[in-house]
Amino acid sequence: MAHFRVAAPTGALDVDWEGGGSPAAAELFRLAGLPQKGPGRPVAARVAGRLADLGCEVPPGGEVAPVTRDDPEALALLRHSAAHLMAEAVVRLFPQAKVAIGPAVEDGFYYDFDVERPFTEEDLERISAVMAEIAKESQPFTRRTAAAAEALADFRAKGEVYKAEIIEDLIKAGETRVSLYTCGDFTDLCRGPHVPDSSWGAAFKLLSVAGAYWRGDEKRPMLQRIYGTAFFTPKELRAHLDFLEEAKRRDHRRIGKDLDLFSVHEEIGGGLVVWHPKGALLRVLLEEFERREHLRRGYDVVMGPQILKSELWGKSGHLDYYRENMYFTEIDGLSYAIKPMNCLSHMFVYRSRVRSFRDLPVRLFELGTVQRHEKSGVLHGLTRVRQFTQDDAHIFCAPSQVKSEIMGVLALIRDMMAAFAFDFELELSTRPEKSIGTDDDWEMATGALRAALDDAGRPYEINEGDGAFYGPKIDVKLKDALGRRWQCATVQCDFTLPERFDLTFVDSDNSRKRPVMLHRTVFGSLERFIGVLIEHYAGDFPLWLAPVQAVIVTVTGRADQAAEAYAAALRKKGARVSLDLRNEKLGYKIREAELAKVPYVLVMGDREAEAGTASVRARKGASLGERDPAGFLELVGPALSPPSWD
């Protein structure tokens, strides 16, 4: 009789197995009395800490734990299985289709197919119907292993060139066996694991189809990528689809067009944004807010050139670690690079004169426009562009000042994010595989960031291996109104570039010492941050940030002169006011102002014109009575201006 340890929710249980061989995890769970129906039933198993199918064999004396749908990894497992159901349905409907890859992703899954023509909405409906049939059939997922060479020959014989290429790469990497999963009449190359059978994938939705290059290479075939999502229950699926509808309503590309903020034109080039008057004003308001706060906190404003000699980027390490993201040109026979970041110029500002320990910290701030090469397939509105402006700053400080300076940056980020009602999470990203600098430097830099985070008193996660190539970093993930996370602010600790560019300061004992260089942003890319802001507020910006804070609409032309005088009085006090003097119906003009998300509509008819007042309506339709210009300014008060802190 063999004994096994089952880590049940009620505590670890000892299970005796009287059968021969190694039992399946599912059988041990049954013997342990775990639920076989309902939310608590196992989806998969965890054997020796690794995810596995319920059908996996547990070695004698082993310990096994159930994975239920509440497990953090369960949803991805379900979605990967749903991707297999989709591939099975596609192959049934389109026998000539060649399958590529089908992973689970953050919000669902996708699968790439090589087909004769692009998929249509009608095709997605047909595929969905077949997937529903497969789910009803409760087809089991069964796993087997095969010799890699045998599997390669089999997939080649079927014409599955993409699977064959993957196996070829595995063989080159030294793999001799591969795992295959079969569900119904569809067999796929897959590491697994999967849910027990196809019935688990009944709550799914196919969302869209798009083109995708094989392995992301623009020189390889263009495939058809079907995106979908899946949940354990129809209720969870409906909630997610409602979320997607709300996200669609908030899409910054749609709102940007509706509010006339910006545009992107293929004639100009992908990833290059044209700012319209209202959008440009929104940018200016954010820039002024940032400059004010940085000046208040001891930063100096600097500006650097757009291009620098390529040899400098070689010295910094960018040519070795960042070349594919850079643009180059040639002047007078010399190679120049268009800057992808602002740090090099700031080092030259620091190096322009001898620095004493009494000068430190030196905080240099620049709203610097940079260029980065992004593949066309990843460009997306404002959130992924090729030219953007970064609120870049570099702090040069003594090693003893590093912790306090990092904490100052975190305090600045906290205050600035509070101005937009953003909550945020923190991650400490450590040394990546491709990096520069010594182990000691990396340990000191990582330790400084960790100490500052600990003293700041906010929880944080460790993100192993995702630091910048020159130093570890703290990444700030904003949480918007829908709970989505966005990477914007960052703080990076760098001991390496000061060494490479011979940056020094004269210490109290007259010796030369190296400063530490902190790279940091608050908004990050202004383009990306504005895209996030648009979706966070759904275009309903707070009063201080609204490009137009109030619009005065007249009932008849007789009130035009009084309306212009009213607007002039408000503008004199800094309010941003527009006039709608068109010969249109009042209701139409009010409705247009509401659609434009103007915070206040000031209605002026003959009576108001004579009295020098306007009838004030808030954006949501509430009537706030008649006010003269001074009364309106008193009503809105400090909300007209950006927030401030003592």
DSSP string, 525-593: EHHHHHHHHHHHHTT---GGG-S--EEEEESSGGGHHHHHHHHHHHHHTT--EEEE--SS-HHHHHHHH
Comparing CA positions, the residue from 242, 246, 244 lying closest to residue 538 is: 246
Furthest C-alpha separation in the chain: 100
What is the average per-residue pLDDT within 74-101?
A: 96
DSSP secondary structure code for residue 333 in this structure: T
What are 559-568's pLDDT values in tens digits? 999 999 999 9
Instruction: Say yes or no: domain 2-67 is CATH 3.10.20.30.
Output: yes
* Residues forming CATH 3.30.980.10 domain(s) in the chain: 74-249
| pLDDT above 90: residue 23 | no
Residues composing the chain:
646
| pLDDT score at 2 | 65
Does the pLDDT of residue 359 top 90, yes or no?
Answer: yes
**Confidence grade of residue 6 (pLDDT, cut at 50, 70, 90):** confident
Average pLDDT over residues 192-220: 93
* Backbone phi, psi, residue 567, to 5°: -65, -40
Tell me the pLDDT band of 3, cut-offs 50, 70 and 90: low
pLDDT bracket for residue 644 (50, 70, 90): confident
- How far apart CA 416 and CA 412 sit, in angstroms, is 6
- Residue 63 and residue 49: Cα distance in Å, rounded? 9
Residue 544 has pLDDT above 90, yes or no: yes
The CATH code of domain 298-304+340-537 reads 3.30.930.10
Cα 217 versus chain centre, distance = 22
Instruction: Look at residue 404 in the predicted model and tell me its pLDDT.
Output: 92
Long-range contacts of 326-331, Cβ-Cβ distance < 8 Å, separation of 24 or more: 326/371, 326/372, 326/373, 327/371, 327/373, 331/307
The predicted model gives 523-550 an average pLDDT of: 96
Helix (H) or strand (E) holding 284: helix 277-296
> pLDDT by residue (tens digit) across 335-351?
999 999 999 999 999 99
Which CATH code for domain 543-640?
3.40.50.800
- 71: which 2 tokens? 């497990």
pLDDT of residue 1: 56
pLDDT at 364: 98
Average pLDDT over residues 366-377: 92
Mean per-residue pLDDT for 592-599? Answer: 95
CA angle (420, 424, 427) in 5-degree steps: 145
> Rounded distance, CA 443 to CA 447, Å?
6
Q: How far is CA 173 from the centre of its chain?
A: 32
Helix (H, G, I), strand (E, B), or coil: what is residue 48? coil
d(CA 315, CA 309) in angstroms, rounded, equals: 10
- Residues that are catalytic: 343, 372, 390, 392, 394, 473, 519
- Mean pLDDT is lowest, of 27-41, 104-118, 509-523, for 27-41
Structure tokens at 280: 């440009």
Q: How confident is the model at residue 32 (pLDDT cuts 50, 70, 90)?
A: confident
Please check the confidence at residue 163 and state whether its pLDDT lies above 60.
yes
Q: What pLDDT is recorded for position 533?
A: 96
Rg (CA), the chain: 30
Residues of the chain with CATH 3.10.20.30: 2-67
| CB-CB neighbours of 547 under 10 Å | 23
Name the pLDDT band for 195 (thresholds 50, 70, 90). very high
Q: Which two tokens stand for residue 645?
A: 């802190």
Q: In the chain, which segments carry CATH 3.40.50.800?
A: 543-640
pLDDT band of 435, cuts 50, 70, 90: confident
Query: pLDDT tier at 456 (50, 70, 90 boundaries)?
Result: confident
Q: What is the mean pLDDT of residues 249-259?
A: 96
Amino acid identity for residue 128 in this structure? S
- Cite the beta strand spans of 115-154 per DSSP E: 142-147
pLDDT of residue 138: 94
CA distance 169 to 191: 15
Confidence check: pLDDT of 20 > 80? no
Q: What percent of the chain has pLDDT over 70?
A: 99
What percent of the chain clears pLDDT 90, i.e. is strictly above it? 80
Q: What is the mean pLDDT of residues 3-24?
A: 75
Q: 45 to each of 73, 188, 196, 556, how far by Cα in Å?
A: 11, 21, 11, 74
| The CATH number, out of the four listed (3.30.1360.40, 2.30.30.110, 3.40.50.300, 3.30.980.10), of the domain defined by the range 74-249 | 3.30.980.10
Mean pLDDT of the chain: 93
Span(s) in the chain for CATH 3.30.930.10: 298-304+340-537
User: Average pLDDT of 291-313?
Assistant: 96
pLDDT of residue 211: 92
pLDDT per residue as tens digits for the range 478-517 = 999 998 999 899 999 988 899 999 999 999 999 999 999 9
